Chains A and B, each alone.
Chain A
Amino acid sequence: MGLFDSIFGTSTNKSAALAKERLQIIVAHERGSRRGSGPDYLPALKKELLEVVRKYVPVDQSQIKVHLDREGGYEILELNITLPDEEPRSGRN
């Protein structure tokens, strides 16, 4: 800070605003990935659900999406399975 600044109390240095903006982005990102990783049982749950579904419908690993969300005091377990077209099914039985 120059003499002028120290006398009149002005400053062009507003680095705190930059710090805040960077923090908000990185903290939101890291909180997101903490949530995304979910509890320990999530990978196993996903695998077993897929096995059950596969008993009836041939679906691919990539066609099942498990997502856990926390909102207020409760958690939402979202399960998305994309079923294949009719054709491959006719091959069974």
Chain B
Amino acid sequence: MATVIVVTSGKGGVGKTTTSASFATGLAQRGHRTVVIDFDVGLRNLDLIMGCERRVVYDFINIINGEANLNQALIRDKRVENLCILPASQTRDKDALTKEGVERVLNDLKQSFDYIVCDSPAGIERGALMALYFADEALVVTNPEVSSVRDSDRILGILASRSRRAEQGEPPVKEHLVLARYAPERADRGDMLSVEDVLEILGIPLLGVIPESQNVLQSSNAGVPVILEDGSDAGAAYSDLVERFLGKNLPHRFITSQKKGFLKRLFGGS
């Protein structure tokens, strides 16, 4: 039975697409048949982050409308086996996402995939609601910053009341916190919310902490999910996150600051 996972946050720019790309890639690397769907109709970006923007022919809305079949629209990743990308439409509007249409496509995908990762758009409008409606599990991406934490709490409320599982009285959507763009030394200094602060406020289990990292921008420049960048701390953090999602008990890394020596403090460097 395939598992549907939504990557959501409420607020924009916190790392949903970065997380979707690396999470889906990590699952596929470990041998799980994975498809990642862009729900951001009109503002698609997952294709750019995955580096397959020039291979898009048909999209999610084409399939919903029956203008193409799944095999025509799914883009097979060239780097990782078992990984497919389903891009969003760039020209239609979000009303094209009907509940029935999305459900039909998800049911078709469940026949040939183990994990279906839904990359949600920001906000709480139709696209975001459709992305989370059919979810079994949710990765709630949050930055250690007031507006992001508040919006995450709002999304948790929506998952608990307006998902299919909530409406049909089934066991609730399983929630995971992904704390992204974390800077341990700033948290230590007391000018950034700490991991513990965010956990205390949101009250959901922590799946991973992704450190603020230059590698994220570099890898998006290149169209390579950061999890594939060897030697990158953000990539290593995503690998750990995937392992934990699959049930491995790994300690959290990148949550304490590297103590800088006196000379380094004096002469700078980060």
Binding site for B on A (CB under 8 A): 6-9, 11, 13-17, 19-20, 22-24, 26-27, 30-31, 34
Contacts and interface: CB of A to CB of B under 8 A. Distances in A.
Q: What is the interface of chain B mostly: helix, strand, loop, or mixed?
A: helix
Nearest to A8: B265
Contacts of B145: 19
A24 B146 CA distance: 10
B268 to A, nearest CB: 8
Q: What is the interface of chain A mostly: helix, strand, loop, or mixed?
A: helix
Name the residue in A6, A8, A19 with the highest tally of chain B Cβ atoms < 10 Å from its Cβ: A19
A30 B264 CA distance: 45
Contacts of B192: 16
Contact of A19 (B193, B265, B266): B193
Contact of B191 (A14, A22, A24, A27): A14
Interface stretch (B98-106, B125-133, B149-157, B238-246): B149-157
Contact of A16 (B161, B191, B200, B262): B191
Contacts of A20: 193, 197, 200-201
Contacts of A34: 157, 161
Given A23-B150, A23-B201, A26-B150, A13 B191 contact: yes
B149 A6 contact: no
Name the residue in A15, A16, A34 with the highest tally of chain B Cβ atoms < 10 Å from its Cβ: A16
Given A15-B191, A30-B153, A30-B157, 17 more contacts: A6-B265, A6-B266, A7-B262, A7-B265, A7-B266, A9-B189, A11-B191, A19-B145, A19-B193, A19-B197, A20-B197, A20-B200, A23-B193, A23-B201, A27-B201, A30-B150, A34-B157
